Structure 1
Amino acid sequence: MSIREVAQRPGPFASLYIDAEHDTEDAERQRALRWRALAERLAAEGASEQMITVLGDAVTGGPPEPGRAGRFLVADAESVLIDRGLPGRPQPDIVRVSPLPYLLPLIEHEAGEVPHAVAVVDRVGSDMYGVDEHGEVVEESVEGTGHPIHKVRHGGGWSHRSMQRRVEETARRNAGEVAEELTRVAQRVHAQVVVLAGEADTRSAVHGALGSTGARVVEVETGGRAEGSGDSELDDTVREVVTEQAGRQRAEITARFDKAHGRDEGLAVTGVSETVCALLAANAENVLINADALGDRTIHMDPGPLRDPAALGAPGTATGTTCRADEALPVAALVRGGTVTPIGAETALREGVGALLRYA
């Protein structure tokens, strides 16, 4: 389920961002002990027995997976809606039960993973994959001369995105055919960057033959199609390129905000109240959030209008409901078709939040 779909669902929700390291000899026992402590915290926060049960099944079910640093889960009263492995270990674990889901950790993670396509090429053919905006490797099946090439779908996490050996391509394919296939993959995932690896001459030829993708094309020296040709090094290189592209995108958004803020036409606002008003007027194109600066600030209003894309108007004060701003603002942005850009201290935001507006 996408985070936009989760944002529109009625609460309450339990949100967990927990340490999920399993690289110890007694990993199973440690996991059980950690879950017992988490279940006690969930109960203290007001989680229902059903919430605790479904989350317990998700956290303790199946064998421990070595190497997973963190785990992010969101559940409603009936089922687990999101279950993702994330890099980094939250310190301390985050456990919340509230009317709105806490989606910011996943948004922060996805903000560093722009859609991209990767191809390793040589004179014989290519291996390639594309990663969409949700970090999923999309399925692709391309008919080559003689035999089909099957692309397999994998779920998030860099370890699952390493080059997977496809059905062997037996026919020689020229750079134009490879470029045509790569163009389709890049367009399908709306790639912002295309990474080309493999033999230098073929790499250059494919680069020159690529169709219109709207993506930045980066040639890299690591990686090859032969068995044992440094797939892990290629993964590291792809990570660097994607991270750099995400940084460029964030810099462009913050530059737009800095330019617009304070101008007469008023195409940017800052502060919690001003941002909420823009969201409820369906006028926030992009919400910028500095989580550290936003902290534990709250919004005094019914969560219903925040997750209802048809609810327009100014925030009311008649309700006695208090929502956390770091939960409410992402939900309101997502259900109204906006985006959320997590930032650091590179832009001064009053109360840690601001918005680029669609109109003055």
Structure 2
Amino acid sequence: MELDFAAPLLDRPGPWATVCVATGRPAEDTAARRELAARAARDELEAHGADRETREAVHRALTTPAPGGSPAGRVVYATAGQVVLDVPLARAPATDLVDFSALPRLTPLVELAAREPTCLLARVDRTGADFWLRSGTGAHAAGEVSGERWPVHRTASADWSEHHFDRSVEETWERNATVVAEELSRLWRRCGADVVVLAGDPRIRHEVRMRLPGPVRAVTTESEHGSRAAGSGDRGRLDHDVDRVRHDRVREHTLDVLERYRAERAKATGAGPAAAAEGVPALVEAAREHRIAALLIDPDGSDVAREVWVGTDPDQVSDRRTDSAYLGAVRPAPARADDALLRSAAATGAEVLRVDGAEAPAGGLGALLRWAEPAR
């Protein structure tokens, strides 16, 4: 998971109101239900010491329908009387969260979206394709493309002229498959999807896949379900295939990063430098130096809520208040270690991976680094 969408949260000083709530099924997302949730969040923010303007901004946001249709949940970030970011969630949080602190609480997004890699779905037929982008924060249409519409249907005749016509039909399919493959590749480059799923007409799926550039074809899977036809009855099976592909992708990637992390940690016991860090002091130092490539986090780890000190800049983070002055923090404030490290990850383009239980680093926080530094 990358936190590039959190960029609007990086250039404001805070303090921040973070409200993460479940929105319920679409039929339950009524004005009365939203008002109750908004009022409860506003009251809890007041108990946490949030200013009136910020409380009212959150209340207004939560009483309006969630962006992106009817998601399962949403996370609202507000400061200085303004909602800065309102993120729809594809999965509902197990429990609601209301917080007012120096930094925005990004861990709920890791818990709810880190297992949701971005998927570019293409539903193809003989005349073109429509595209959908699915991520941990919902799904939306990503466009469509059309090729030639005639001739696209074969005949049942054995006549020589009809055989010639059928060859023209197949050539139309092939040209249309080229058009779809080119548009799919363009969308993939633009959105950077982790996986691609091709659904729809079996012959065209194959033709499109064979025309994709190597990097796109390497992350592409075909689904036997799904159709461009209106009212297609196998939408649920297609959704299942997409979810399975996304789950497999993130699992494979997480295992790969963990393997590299463990190999680097093993080096730390020897004489050579290791491109991995574990423990809050080492991670804070790596964050300041922009060395974190992948932040590993277990939200239930013992170190995630450990107190660190932060300034307004993502680089201004220290595990001791006395060090804050050397970093230029005029008014250092206490913050959770996970919030500070996630803010740094968002600012430097680092990846964030959720890991659980025995797979997690000691204390629940670790990082694979961009480069190693010799032991000091």
Identify the match of residue 192 of structure 1 among 183, 194, 204: 194
Q: Does 1:284 align with 2:292?
A: yes
Identify the match of residue 298 of structure 1 among 281, 306, 315: 306
Structure 1's 95 and 216: CA in aligned 2 closer, same or farther, altered over 3 A?
Answer: same
Superposition deviation, residue 323 in structure 1: 1.0
Aligned residues: 333
8 Å Cα contact 2:124-2:200 kept in structure 1: yes
Secondary structure of 1:242's aligned partner = helix
CA distance in 1, matches of 2:85, 2:111: 15
Secondary structure of 1:17's aligned partner = strand
Query: Which sits farther off after the overlay, 173-182 or 90-99?
Result: 173-182
Matches within 5 A, 1:192-271: 192-214=194-216, 215-229=218-232, 230-263=234-267, 264-271=272-279
Superposition deviation, residue 236 in structure 1: 2.8
Instruction: Give me the CA root mean square deviation.
Output: 3.1
Matches within 5 A, 1:1-360: 2-21=5-24, 27-62=30-65, 68-130=71-133, 137=140, 139-140=142-143, 142=145, 144=147, 173-214=175-216, 215-229=218-232, 230-263=234-267, 264-294=272-302, 297-305=305-313, 307-308=314-315, 315-318=319-322, 321-360=333-372
Letter in 2 for 1:226: A
8 Å Cα contact 1:223-1:231 kept in structure 2: yes
Letter in 1 for 2:307: I
CA distance in 2, matches of 1:337, 1:321: 24
Superposition deviation, residue 131 in structure 1: 5.0
CA distance in 2, matches of 1:330, 1:236: 31
Deviations, residues 238-278 of structure 1 (Å, cap 9, x unaligned): 12212221222222111111111130321111111211111
Secondary structure of 1:236's aligned partner = helix
8 Å Cα contact 2:127-2:146 kept in structure 1: no
CA distance in 2, matches of 1:192, 1:185: 12
Structure with the higher helix share, 1 or 2? 2
Structure 1's 178 and 326: CA in aligned 2 closer, same or farther, altered over 3 A?
Answer: same
CA distance in 2, matches of 1:139, 1:24: 26
8 Å Cα contact 2:19-2:98 kept in structure 1: yes
Which residue is equivalent to 1:160?
none
Structure 1's 300 and 180: CA in aligned 2 closer, same or farther, altered over 3 A?
Answer: closer
Superposition deviation, residue 93 in structure 1: 1.6
Secondary structure of 2:86's aligned partner = strand
Letter in 2 for 1:337: G
Superposition deviation, residue 182 in structure 1: 1.8
CA distance in 2, matches of 1:25, 1:130: 25
Which residue is equivalent to 2:168?
none
CA distance in 1, matches of 2:220, 2:68: 34
Query: Which sits farther off after the overlay, 284-293 or 31-40?
Result: 31-40
Deviations, residues 157-186 of structure 1 (Å, cap 9, x unaligned): xxxxxxxxxxxxxx9653222222222222
Deviations, residues 82-136 of structure 1 (Å, cap 9, x unaligned): 2122244434321110110001222343422323322222223322234579766
CA distance in 2, matches of 1:16, 1:10: 18
Secondary structure of 2:371's aligned partner = coil
Query: Which sits farther off after the overlay, 181-190 or 44-53?
Result: 181-190
Secondary structure of 1:228's aligned partner = coil
Superposition deviation, residue 63 in structure 1: 8.9
8 Å Cα contact 1:195-1:217 kept in structure 2: yes
Deviations, residues 288-346 of structure 1 (Å, cap 9, x unaligned): 111101466323323335x24xx5x9654326732111211101222233222121124
Q: Percent identity?
A: 32
Letter in 1 for 2:292: A
Structure 1's 295 and 11: CA in aligned 2 closer, same or farther, altered over 3 A?
Answer: same
